[in-house]
Structures are given as structure tokens and as C-alpha cells.
Amino acid sequence: MEKYTIEGTPKTPTISFDIQAGVLEIKGRSIPENSIEFYKPLVDALDKYSAASKPATTVNIQLEYFNTSSSKCILDVFKKLEAIHKNGSAVTINWHYEEDDEDMLEAGEDYQAIINVPFKMVQVSE
């Protein structure tokens, strides 16, 4: 498996995981009917990736909104990334937020406080 992709919908984010390049991107809205079911294939893909991760792994998160159940699943994804980081891959999480979106900035800061992985807050102008 070289690429793992889920097309986004109005309720689910676009997820693109280029395993060869070590780049994971999650963009859009995350309010799926069943967050655990939606994120499980990504968590499984990260499990497989962790066995042979690249020397550097880049994660770009650009969510405009996510619900409470998604936040737990996103944390699960970050915990997998933390394990990959501990195993020697240089993981960097780029948390993109819009200039006037205090909530999304705070959410990124909350994750940054929990997860032991380098986090970059990236402000994007609309």
C-alpha cells in the first residue's frame, strides 16, 4: 500500500496519506456519523506504516471544524504518530488554522500540550 486516500464530503475530511513520501494530510470538516469507523482505516494504515516508517514524517492538518467525537479520533491518530516519532521517525505536525479562528488555534494548542511530537502552528489567511 503506497497511498491511502479518502475523498472528502460535506461531513468528512479529505485524507491523503502518501506512505512512500511519509506525508499525511487531513483537510476539511470532520463531523462524520461514526467518527471511530471513519478514522479506523487511517489508524490501521498508521499501524502498518509504523513498522517501516520513513526517516521523516510530515503531517498537515487543516480542519475548518470538527466535532467532539472526531477530536477523540484525531487524538488517536496523533498517539499513533507519537509512537512513530518515538521509534525514530522525525514526525512534524503542521496545524493550519485561519487567521481569525481562535477555536481552531486553541484546539491545536491543546493537542500540542498532550502529544510529545513537534507541532507547528501555521496561520493561513483566507
* Digit-coded pLDDT (tens) for 85-114: 999 999 999 999 999 999 999 999 999 999
Q: Which residue ranges make up each domain of the chain?
A: 3-124
User: What is residue 75's predicted lDDT score, i.e. its pLDDT?
Assistant: 97
**Which whole-number Å values give the CA distances from 115 to 15, 43, 54, 72, 91, in the listed order?**
20, 16, 20, 13, 11
Calpha distance 98→31 (Å, rounded): 19
Q: What SS3 state is found at 107? A: helix
User: What is residue 1's predicted lDDT score, i.e. its pLDDT?
Assistant: 59
Q: Is the pLDDT of residue 58 over 80?
A: yes
Q: Is the pLDDT of residue 126 over 80?
A: no
User: What is residue 94's predicted lDDT score, i.e. its pLDDT?
Assistant: 98
- The pLDDT confidence band at residue 125, using thresholds 50, 70 and 90, is confident
In tens, the pLDDT along 32-49 reads: 999 999 999 999 999 999
Q: Is the pLDDT of residue 4 over 70?
A: yes
Domain 3-124: give its CATH code: 3.30.750
